[in-house]
Amino acid sequence: MQTIGIIGAGKLGITLAQLAVRAGYQVLISGSGDPGKIRLAVDVLAPGAVSARSQEVAESADIIILALPLGKFHQLAPQYFADKLVIDAMNYWWEVDGPRSDILPDDQSSSEYVQALLPAAHVIKALSHMGYHDLYDEARGKDLPGRKAIALAGDNTADIAAASELIDSLGFDPLPIGQLAAGRKLEPGGPAFGVDENIQALRQLLG
């Protein structure tokens, strides 16, 4: 059984924990501090997931999902992410993160920034363009009518395949769109941001 580690136990992190438990993964999830702070919320909202510290989540997981505010990401210790598949589900959001120029250069996608800070990790951009309520409502089994799609971007074919398998298990059709830099299309202001569509419509939007 694969272990999915989710860093960030807010709206997105808890929703992904629910989907991952349902898909049969072992799930570890952390917030910013003591696991005791999130234990009740995790037990009630994502029963089966286990709350832990971020270091333990990163060290124990086969796949790590970053679901914390982008402006807080620099607080994570890079050494725990070496050689791990890391799915960056974060978006720059000005109300939360402050001025974009304080965090990342204009010409860099958020996942290129994540890759630069985690040079030994295998970073994929995914699970970021759909709102948490749509993720919760729309997840469904393979080949069921009305299945929605999630786009992903990354520089390595094997990493894209592994992340695609996870997305499929969570209940969505994966749509690879190219290298990590293409992840910009999934960010706020990009054509796929906020989009909740099937794979044909999403492919058309992303041209």
Residues forming contacts to ligand NAP in the complex (CB under 6 A) are 7-13, 30-33, 54, 67-70, 72, 75, 89-91, 93, 128, 131-132
CB of 69 to ligand NAP, least distance (A): 5
Residue with the CB atom nearest ligand NAP in the bound state:
10
Identity of the residue, 51 or 164, whose beta carbon is nearer to ligand NAP in the bound complex:
51
Q: How far is the CB of 89 from ligand NAP (least distance, A)?
A: 5
Provide the minimum distance between the beta carbon of 29 and ligand NAP in the complex, in angstroms, as a whole number: 9
Instruction: Decide whether 31 or 190 has the Cβ nearer to ligand NAP.
Output: 31
Least separation in angstroms between CB 167 and ligand NAP: 13
| Closest CB to ligand NAP among residues 61, 143 | 61
Toward ligand NAP, which CB reaches closer, 68 or 167?
A: 68
Contact 110, 91 (CB under 8 A): yes
Compute the least distance from the CB of residue 20 to ligand NAP, in Å.
Answer: 15
Torsion of CA 173, 176, 177, 180, to 10 degrees: 130
Cβ-based nearer residue to ligand NAP, 10 or 48 = 10
Q: Is 62 exposed, middle or buried (CB count within 10 Å of its CB: 0-12, 13-18, 19+)?
A: middle
Strands 149-154 and 3-7, how do they pair? unpaired
- Distance (Å, whole) CA 61 – CA 7: 11
- The CB-of-143 to ligand NAP minimum distance in angstroms stands at 25
Q: Which is nearer to ligand NAP, 9 or 46 (CB)?
A: 9
Of 100, 120, 80, residue with least CA distance to 187: 100
